[in-house]
Amino acid sequence: MSEQKQNKWRHGLTRFEIPALDDYMGMRDGFLPLPVILDPAAGEEVGLFVRDQTPFMDELSQTKPFSLMMKNGYACNDFGPLAFILFWVENPANPAEPLSSWDCYLDPKNETQMRLWRNLSAQTHWHLFLVGAAGKQRGFFEFENNYGLGGALDFFEDACRNIGTVDFNRAKERFMSENTIEDLFRMQPPTLEHPAKKGKSDKWEEWFATVDFRRRVQEFADKHRGDPQLSAEEYLGQKGADLAGELEDQELIYLDTKYWVNLRHVVVQSPLLIPIYDEILGLLELLRQKKRICCPMSSALFEELMKQSDTSTRLKTARMMDYLSGGVCIQNWLHLIEMEFARHVYRTLKGGDANEATFPIWTKTGYWAGEHTVTFPHLPGQDSVAMVKAYIDVRWNMTFAEYQAMPDWTPIPDEGIAAWVKAADQRKTHPPETKPKFEELAKSYRADLLGALKDEFLKWFAMCRGLPGTPADHIAAVLGPLYVGRDLRAVPSLEVVAGLSAAIALETNRKVQPNDMLDFLHAAQALPYCDALFCDKYMAQKMRNKPLEFGKVYATYIGSSPEELLEYLKGIT
């Protein structure tokens, strides 16, 4: 809680709730921030309006000096968190007492409310209008912005981030029934401990409460106790197959991190907002609402999301991702490449059939790091199976907004990426005497990748048992075409990484960077399975042009600018 006694404020014993934006014109007596334009050259700002249609407005408008004061605080009850901002005008005859005061209540999770107050906090000056009977202006005051509102809003969002909201209106009603305005004046700064200083168990308990974890597990487990026949593996497989069916009629558009960041600038009305993205976001939301498109997530997108250190904007980005993706996620790259290899083995040695559906491409955001199940050996058989399925349901229904709030998140160690960067650097440091051809480089990168993943791949040759020929024959039949790149669609997630590695290695003036692998994974996860991929100009040119021409190979539109994305969206009917 903070109190700022600059050269202005305090406000009366009239309670006032911030209304929805479209209620502004029907403003009742009280205190309200409103968008206004005082100077066309300066553009829109937030003005502060006090309306009072009683004779008291005569006294208020003639008060000298007119000292406007502010105090803020935070509270939480059974219905969720809330913040309050108390404004008052000092009584010149007794500065210890307010002449008039108003208490405003904010939902820290309501982006519309918070954005308005954020805009006010960023102004150099605040402007206060007194409005009397019949809407007549009775006074106007300008104050230097020394109130520290921005820091208070940061605190509100931080303190409430991991606390669930049941019903904000009921939370406010409960708080107001238990506290008078005089109580607000007397309140001391809150003793809420900062989340970063809490123990791990406390932070996890907060997260469990925020996502209502235990209740959800119990409800899912109760549902599955009545259906013990289907195994957990079959249940997860069925969910994946159903999801694939839902996506068949939707345009799948993969946006790399740059596009999500620019869309977030629209949501938060950032000064970095690029106008064209406002129209893009509107079209994306409309097409998503009509279920015409899906913008799937990926492990690469989540890892880059978690690099955003500002937890408030990260949460807003995650919520936008959840909406436009519908929770759909491409399988983790390692899992995806393993499934592709298994499908390749099946097609090469058995000809392929309907059982290929057991090699899933799509999952949900709760499984961004890879699909897995858990066991509950201490439970009796039926309860154990029910709990495993409940775990699947919880993961399947998780959102990025929930996942990014997990305590103590750390990136998944990936020794493969580190080894790949090291090998790429060595290739640049010790170039061959004769510049290699692209085909030779691509083949060497395929060999490197296949060798690094051999443990994941070899187990799939078990399906060859009983087939004519020796194990060596089977391995040669499967791996031979991959090494030489005979079919770029056989194991596409491997081919995209190998091809991009080779294409960039041909550029003697560009050193491979660790972040390149994330760019490669965006492409490897999206190109073979999405209708369109939008990335930066450099990567788009590499993938569109020779020697790769991945757009033709995988029949995927590859864009590199917001103008191309907007045009693509307009072409979807």
**Confidence band of 319 (pLDDT split at 50, 70, 90):** very high
Dist CA 339 CA 460 (whole Å): 10
Residues with Cβ within 8 Å of residue 506, at least 6 apart in sequence: 435, 436, 438, 441
Q: What integer is the mean pLDDT of 469-480?
A: 81
* Locus of tokens 């960041």: 261
Q: How confident is the model at residue 477, as a pLDDT?
A: 84
- Residue 481: is its pLDDT beyond 90? no
Better pLDDT: 43 or 553: 553
- Residue 15: is its pLDDT beyond 60? no
**Confidence band of 418 (pLDDT split at 50, 70, 90):** low
- The per-residue pLDDT of the chain, averaged, comes to 80
Q: How confident is the model at residue 13, as a pLDDT?
A: 31
Question: 265-285: per-residue pLDDT in tens?
Answer: 998 888 899 999 999 999 999
Share of the chain above pLDDT 90, in %: 23
In this structure, is residue 22 part of a structural domain?
A: yes
Helix H or strand E segment including 75: strand 68-77
Q: Please tell me whether residue 385 adopts helix, strand or coil conformation.
A: helix
**Structural domain containing residue 175:** 2-192
Q: Please tell me whether residue 507 adopts helix, strand or coil conformation.
A: coil
Q: How confident is the model at residue 426, as a pLDDT?
A: 61
In this structure, is residue 102 part of a structural domain?
A: yes
Burial of 458 (0-12, 13-18, 19+ CB in 10 A): exposed
Q: Domain boundary at 192, 213, 230, which? A: 192
Q: How confident is the model at residue 520, as a pLDDT?
A: 87
Dist CA 357 CA 365 (whole Å): 20
Q: How confident is the model at residue 282, as a pLDDT?
A: 93
In this structure, is residue 441 part of a structural domain?
A: yes
Which of 37-41, 212-216, 246-250 has the least mean pLDDT? 37-41
**Confidence band of 414 (pLDDT split at 50, 70, 90):** low
Q: What integer is the mean pLDDT of 113-131?
A: 88
In this structure, is residue 324 part of a structural domain?
A: no
Q: Positive or negative CA dihedral for 510, 416, 296, 166?
A: negative
In this structure, is residue 511 part of a structural domain?
A: yes
Question: 372-382: per-residue pLDDT in tens?
Answer: 777 776 677 67
Q: How confident is the model at residue 307, as a pLDDT?
A: 85
Residue ranges in 108-256 assigned as alpha helix (H): 111-121, 149-160, 168-178, 181-186, 200-210, 213-225, 232-247
Q: How confident is the model at residue 212, as a pLDDT?
A: 81
Question: 422-469: per-residue pLDDT in tens?
Answer: 655 565 554 555 677 888 888 888 888 887 777 777 777 777 777 777
Q: How confident is the model at residue 197, as a pLDDT?
A: 39
Q: How confident is the model at residue 422, as a pLDDT?
A: 60
In this structure, is residue 308 part of a structural domain?
A: no
- Residue 313: is its pLDDT beyond 60? yes
Q: How confident is the model at residue 1, as a pLDDT?
A: 40
Which of 324, 326, 288, 321 lies closest to 305, judged by CA? 321
User: From start to end of 284-387, where are the E strands?
Assistant: 293-294, 328-330, 362-364
Q: What integer is the mean pLDDT of 416-423?
A: 56
- Yes or no: say if 383 and 225 are a contact pair by the CB < 8 Å rule: yes
Helix H or strand E segment including 99: strand 94-106
Number of domains in the chain: 2
Q: How confident is the model at residue 420, as a pLDDT?
A: 54
- Yes or no: say if 506 and 441 are a contact pair by the CB < 8 Å rule: yes
Q: How confident is the model at residue 276, as a pLDDT?
A: 96
- Residue 59: is its pLDDT beyond 80? yes
- Yes or no: say if 328 and 315 are a contact pair by the CB < 8 Å rule: no
In this structure, is residue 330 part of a structural domain?
A: no
* Locus of tokens 């289907």: 230
Phi, psi of 535 (to 5 degrees): -140, -165
How many other C-beta atoms lie within 10 A of the C-beta of residue 170? 13
Going across the sheet that includes 293-294, the strands are: 293-294, 251-255, 532-534, 557-559
- Residue 18: is its pLDDT beyond 90? no
- Can you read off the two tokens belonging to residue 422? 């090291």
Question: 486-537: per-residue pLDDT in tens?
Answer: 888 889 998 998 899 888 888 765 555 656 677 888 899 999 999 999 999 9
Q: How confident is the model at residue 508, as a pLDDT?
A: 60
Q: How confident is the model at residue 12, as a pLDDT?
A: 31
In this structure, is residue 223 part of a structural domain?
A: no
- Residue 77: is its pLDDT beyond 80? no
- Yes or no: say if 334 and 491 are a contact pair by the CB < 8 Å rule: no
Q: Domain boundary at 529, 552, 567, which? A: 529
Dist CA 562 CA 277 (whole Å): 7
How many other C-beta atoms lie within 10 A of the C-beta of residue 429? 8
Better pLDDT: 375 or 560: 560
Q: What integer is the mean pLDDT of 471-497?
A: 85
- Yes or no: say if 16 and 31 are a contact pair by the CB < 8 Å rule: yes
**Confidence band of 21 (pLDDT split at 50, 70, 90):** very low
Q: Domain boundary at 508, 529, 550, which? A: 529
